[in-house]
Structure 1
Amino acid sequence: MISFPRAAAPFLASALVLTPVAAQAADTGPYYVATPAAAPAQQTLITSGTVWKWRDTVFTASKSGQREFIMCELVAQRAGKLTAFTAGGKPFDDDALAKCNARAK
């Protein structure tokens, strides 16, 4: 017969291993932040499977498999001209933002 502590050991070990990962993921926040020049008509946008949520004065989204520049272009196509775009905490410079805004609606 299996005793309770022995049977529970694998579950407890996996919980201890996964806890720091979950805590780290919760602290990272959005990966993308896009600031449109004008207030949006919609509070939620979807670009190539990525959901953008309106928070205060910006759209935010989790990291996707697309390149950062492509994500900027996609959100500009839906939200209009952007005044700022950040990916992974790194803001686009003026030249990159201007190229991104070439796709704005």
Structure 2
Amino acid sequence: MIRFAPIAAVALCLSAATPALAQSGHYTATPTEAPKKASFITQTTVWKCKDGTCAAPKSTMSDKVMCERVVQRVGALTTFTVGGTSFDAETLAACNARAK
């Protein structure tokens, strides 16, 4: 039983860190117009919006597909970031081409 103590400790730490990561958002999106709703779902990812910016935890979708799903829900974006790195202008324009 003692052999499993380090594994249990790591699992406990990871479970405590997960809500903090979800709150900060792996993805952030800033729509050109403020979203009408405070939250929305893209396939299986829940997005929360506040002060004109929306954030979501990391997903298994590719970053390009995630951006496309967001613009289908909220319209064109002024910025889209993944893990703190913003899409360049060309990639963002390609994503915005999928806007509703």
Identify the TM-score tier after normalising by the shorter chain.
0.7 to 0.9
Taking a change above 3 Å as real, the CA distance of residues 24 and 44 of structure 1, as seen in their structure-2 partners, is closer
2:59 is aligned, of 58, 64, 87, to 64
Structure 1 Cα separation of the partners of residues 39 and 16 of structure 2: 26
TM value normalised by structure 1: 0.79
Query: For residue 29 of structure 2, what is the aligned residue in structure 1?
Result: 34
Taking a change above 3 Å as real, the CA distance of residues 26 and 43 of structure 1, as seen in their structure-2 partners, is closer
Instruction: Decide which structure has the larger Cα Rg and report it.
Output: 1
1:1-105 equivalence runs, <5 A: 9=2, 13-28=6-21, 29-105=24-100
CA root-mean-square deviation: 2.0
Q: Is the 8 A contact 2:35 2:52 kept in 1?
A: no
Structure 1 Cα separation of the partners of residues 7 and 61 of structure 2: 31
Runs of 4+ in 1 over 6 A off after TM superposition: none
Shift of 1:57: 2.0
Which consecutive residues of structure 1, in runs of 5 or more, have no partner in the other structure? 1-6
Paired positions, count: 98
Identity %: 44
The alignment partner of 1:16 has SS state of helix
Structure 1 Cα separation of the partners of residues 20 and 38 of structure 2: 23
TM value normalised by structure 2: 0.83
Which consecutive residues of structure 2, in runs of 5 or more, have no partner in the other structure? none
